[in-house]
Amino acid sequence: MVIVRRPFLLPVLLCMSFASCSEPSPAVDSESPTSPRGGAPAYSSLESFVADYWIRPIPAQGPAPADWPEFEASLRPEACGTCHTQKLADWSTTIHADAYSAGLSGQLVNWEQSSPETVRSCLVCHAPLAEQSAWTGGADGTLYPNPTFDRDLRDRGITCAACHLRGRRRYGPLLRDGSTGPSPEDAPHDGVTRTEFFSDSRFCAGCHQFEFPAPEGNSIQNTYEEWRISRWADEGVSCQDCHMPDRRHLWRGIHDPEMVLSALRIEWIDGPGVGIRIRNSGAGHHFPTYVTPEVVVEITQLGAQRTALETRPTSWLIARKVENRNGVWVELSDTRIAVDEASAFEVEVLPGAEFARATISVRPDAVYSSVFAQFLVGSLPDTSRVLLSEAAGTAGNSPFVIFDETVPIQR
């Protein structure tokens, strides 16, 4: 069967990752750029890595050398993990390993036959290997069933192979002493090509900086740019330095309480009002960087018996709010905290107030929670409903409190 490529017909609401609305240039599957044996690696300089390494879908790996045992030839994370045990253990706990999530697949099952091009546009970030896609594209703009499609591999999300393999050849960072090191002939998987690209923030940008027609000139997901103009870039502190400390494959972010706390310096304000000041001292980009989380700050004033003086605390949102109006992104508000900046959350002291309580809560999936809920209100195929209910449950359970302190009010 041949399906003719057609333009996006998706209603705006379905562009829930915001990325779907502006899928970059049409993907044309090509041959592997290189092979593990014979000939030099295809990338001759850092610039060529930046330009070509993240062409997606990542071209099919091609056949492995005949003398490789199955566990060297396999693209499965567990196969890599037979030797790289710590990396597999770390990766398995991460959001990258769950990137083909219920929230994503619950939507994609509806589009598998009707709009394979849309499915591919999501997979380029969530499951980017050619072998993870049911369809493959020709230069003439048609899509064909993909002979190398591996459904189980697709379900594994962003795998070791997606970041480390091109044409079967292993790529990795320079040795810790900065050298390319030896790569013995008899090494497993015929050794490795080491490059500084792996320790460069541009390695992460392909999936974490979305090019968008965006409000006020800033992309809707602007993480790399936020980092690039910050002190961290000047000081040579990369995404990897914070998100992969000691090369651990952890990628903790807004879903992790300890990571979030490490971004912030929180202090009580010295009057005349009462409240807290929050400084972004440890995130390499705005806090938070994406448009999907919300951080809520609340101040409550208490009497001598520690009962609240008002029915409701005063509250603020730290978030960037955008909305898609007829295909155009509009920025509604942006109260995120830029690198090294601080925001004060302060109220006037009420008569009779003796104590003040401040809390900071994080809702990592605030926007997705409400989008999943909207899907579930509508009519859906059963498979989709099961997956999106699961996603709604997970998103609903992700909020946590990172700060809750009560102090006497100084007058």
Q: Name which of residues 151 to 180 contact ligand HEC (CB under 6 A).
A: 158, 160-165, 170, 172-173, 175
CA–CA distance from 212 to each of 4, 16, 209, 305, 341 (Å)? 26, 14, 9, 53, 26
Instruction: Kindly identify the residues of this chain, within the stretch 87-106, that bind ligand HEC according to CB under 6 A.
Output: 87-88, 91, 95-96, 99, 101, 103-104
Does a cis peptide bond (omega within 30 degrees of 0) precede residue 63? no
Burial profile 165-193: b = 16 or more Cβ within 10 angstroms, e = fewer: bbbbbbbebeeeeeeeeeeeeeeebbbbb
| Pairwise CA distance, residues 342 & 310, whole Å | 27
Instruction: Kindly identify the residues of this chain, within the stretch 347-376, that bind ligand HEC according to CB under 6 A.
Output: 364, 368
Instruction: Kindly identify the residues of this chain, within the stretch 184-243, that bind ligand HEC according to CB under 6 A.
Output: 184, 187-189, 191-192, 194, 198-199, 201, 203-204, 206-208, 210, 223-224, 227, 232, 237, 239-240, 242-243
| Pairwise CA distance, residues 126 & 158, whole Å | 6
Residues 6 or more apart in contact with residue 194 via CB below 8 angstroms: 171, 172, 173, 174, 175, 180, 181, 183
Residue from the set 53, 60, 117, 126 that interacts with ligand HEC by CB under 6 A: 126
| Pairwise CA distance, residues 292 & 286, whole Å | 13
Least distance CB 238 / ligand HEC (angstroms): 6
Least distance CB 180 / ligand HEC (angstroms): 9
Cβ(358)–Cβ(405) below 8 Å: yes
Residue from the set 3, 8, 12, 20 that interacts with ligand HEC by CB under 6 A: 20
Taking the least distance from each CB to ligand HEC, the nearer of 290 and 345 is 290
Cβ(348)–Cβ(332) below 8 Å: no
| Pairwise CA distance, residues 371 & 14, whole Å | 9
Taking the least distance from each CB to ligand HEC, the nearer of 16 and 130 is 16
Residues 6 or more apart in contact with residue 235 via CB below 8 angstroms: none
Determine if 276 is a binding residue for ligand HEC (CB under 6 A): no
**Nearest residue to ligand HEC, by Cβ distance, number only:** 284
Instruction: Kindly identify the residues of this chain, within the stretch 250-269, that bind ligand HEC according to CB under 6 A.
Output: 251, 253-255, 259-260, 262-263
Cβ(199)–Cβ(244) below 8 Å: no
Residue from the set 13, 46, 83, 330 that interacts with ligand HEC by CB under 6 A: 83
Total residues binding ligand HEC (CB under 6 A):
91
| Pairwise CA distance, residues 76 & 160, whole Å | 8
Least distance CB 271 / ligand HEC (angstroms): 29
Residue from the set 122, 302, 322, 353 that interacts with ligand HEC by CB under 6 A: 122
Least distance CB 333 / ligand HEC (angstroms): 16
Instruction: Kindly identify the residues of this chain, within the stretch 285-344, that bind ligand HEC according to CB under 6 A.
Output: 285, 287-290, 292-293
Least distance CB 294 / ligand HEC (angstroms): 10
| Pairwise CA distance, residues 388 & 378, whole Å | 12
